[in-house]
Structure 1
Amino acid sequence: MPCGAGLGFKRRMLDDVLSGKPSAVDFFEVAPENWIPFGGKLSKKLRSLTEKHPFITHGLSLSIGSLDPLDVDFVKRVKSFLDEHNIQIYSEHLSYCSSDGHLYDLMPIPFTEEAVKHVVGRVKHVQDIIERPLVLENVSYYAAPGQQLKELEFVNAVLSEADCGLLLDVNNIYVNSINHGYDALEYLQGLPSERIVYGHIAGHYDEAEDLIIDTHGADVIDPVWALLQQAYAHHGVFPTLLERDFNIPPMPELCVEVEKIAEFQRQSLTAEQRA
């Protein structure tokens, strides 16, 4: 189980981290899809890191909400990857990315009771195959087709009925609160503390005053940092990592934000001890 402050790991970071893990980083997160196709030297290099340092996985293409049949062969390959690298946590997006083929984007699942039942069945199937709990991320979305439930009601119903974990993405809460006009803190406090396995924090792009795009391509802004602090105050400190998917600065600059996560964690733990 990871703890502390982590960083999303990219292949371009491989040789740098092999030379010496940054002291600010307590754990790394990888996307299985970015590594499963490769064997040989690349696989051995990753294995040399996963043997020494804590790693977790965050998938891109499980498509847990799709109406397409579950890709069981893919899930089995993920299971083999997890076993090979002795990784216990596999998280994915509470969304879908396939409909008669890949859509190459994360699409919003309709917030309905029917969709809850559909997703829950697929989650249980995945968990049976990977022999680990599946951890689902609250996602950013830009439309809510066929909505019958509030987003929070939908997320909580899936977590409860599937008996799975939550990857709490703080930036996604902030993005959705602006785009859909709800209270970010109220949403945050409505999530079940006992389901939180770890968290994400990231940057985004302001398309307009009332439209934010979740890009993971910029520095984290102050309101999102403040929401992370409120998350720790309400739910307790949980492992949290920085996502940066493009416009990736040098490792020392990334570590400044990772260190900021760790500082907020220390502050929150100190406040808990004083209370």
Structure 2
Amino acid sequence: MNPSHPFGLSGAGLGLRRALIPALQANMPDGIDFFEVSPENWVGIGGHLGKQFRSLTERHRFVAHGLALSLGGPAPLDTLFLGELKQFLDQHQFALYTEHLSFCGDEGHCYDLYPIPFTEQAVKHVAGRIRQTQQILERSIALENASYYLQPPQAEMDELSFINAVLNEADCYLHLDVNNIYVNSVNHGYDPLTFLRGLPGERIVYGHVAGHDLDPSGLIIDTHGQNTIEAVWTLLDEAYRLFGTFPTLVERDSNIPPLADLLPEVERIAELQKRHDIRGTDNRHSGALL
């Protein structure tokens, strides 16, 4: 646990998937500092699976990463779900709850994440829903920069300006998905390093790396179904250099390999963090000597 982090998180994590539970129960690796789950997949789960899950949350740090709140959607927030979510987060003592800066439904659920129009009106709309969410959950949340494939209609600003405006208006934290920066930069033709440098580092409390698939058309699809590529590791390295290290997790949602094959990526995060933490300490010591 990191007492200086707003949520007491630190280190390198792994997304918990049900297929991984037997291996984790048989031999918990030392290198995993925390886990992440999507609460929609676990709220209300009981029986043997619920007991297995509880045995893990009792012994390890967990983060919740939402999929279906639809913060940018036009329909009223699902306050019934938010009430259930609060009970779930409290019961399992989750360190942090994050959601996507996107929408996924109106009167029904679309089972996908869609971009919000980059407009001043949308900034006000989303920020108000974030504040309502934080009030119901009685905790601050973090927003993830989402991948998208179509340019939002009626844009009045670019993606970076929109993200900064929402974070400022809502006064919430940033969940930095490094892979999503890379995916969007290729699909929409911008420089990922310039984008990264324009983000508010003081709001970053959490990060993701993941892999993706390349469509024959040249479009990159954010599937979380492959290993993280070198360009994304380079972006994470730069993020740590710019903003300092922050807790970072490996996402793998499809084509899930055995646990042993996922651990090298978790270890690579830890190695990057250690290198930057040492550099930071060395720089502080050098400054003290001057």
Same fold flag (TM > 0.5)? yes
Q: Tell me the equivalent position of 1:238.
A: 246
Which amino acid is 2:140 matched to? P
Q: CA deviation at 1:208?
A: 4.7
Query: Which of residues 70, 85, 99 is equivalent to 1:92?
Result: 99
- Provide the C-alpha distance between the structure 2 equivalents of 1:45 and 1:219, rounded to a whole number of angstroms: 27
Q: Which deviations, in whole Å up to 9, do the C-alpha atoms of 1:232-256 show, x marking residues without a partner? A: 0001000000000011111111001
The counterpart of 2:84, out of the listed 64, 74, 77, is 77
User: In structure 1, what residue type is equivalent to 2:103?
Assistant: Y
AA aligned opposite 2:237: Q
Check conservation: 2:9, 2:95, Cα contact below 8 A: no
Q: 1:53 aligned to 2:69?
A: no
1:38 Cα shift?
1.1
Structure 2 residue aligned with 1:164: 172
User: C-alpha distance in 1, partners of 2:28/2:92?
Assistant: 18
1:102 is displaced (CA, Å) by 0.7
Letter in 1 for 2:84: R
Q: CA deviation at 1:267?
A: 1.2
State percent identity of aligned pairs: 56
Distance 2:27 2:143 in 1: 31
Residue of structure 2 equivalent to 1:16: 23
Offset at residue 89 of structure 1 (A): 0.6
Q: Paired residue for 1:190?
A: 198
Matched, 1:203 2:211: yes
Match of 1:68 in 2: 75
Query: Equivalents in 1 of 2:228, 2:102: separation in Å?
Result: 23
- Distance (whole Å) between structure 1 residues aligned to residue 155 and residue 143 of structure 2: 20
Secondary structure of 2:21's partner?
helix
Question: Any unmatched runs of 5+ in structure 1?
Answer: none
TM-score by length of 1: 0.97
Task: Work out which of the residue numbers 263, 271, 277 in structure 2 matches 1:263.
Answer: 271
Q: 2:156 aligns with which of 148, 153, 174?
A: 148
CA RMSD of aligned residues (A): 1.1
Name which of structure 1's ranges 167-176 and 41-50 shifts more when overlaid on structure 2: 41-50
8 Å contact from structure 1 (residues 2, 55) kept in 2: no
- Corresponding residue of 1:30: 37
| Structure 1 match to 2:228 | 220
Q: How many residues align?
A: 275
Structure 1: which 4+ aligned runs deviate by more than 3 Å?
Answer: none
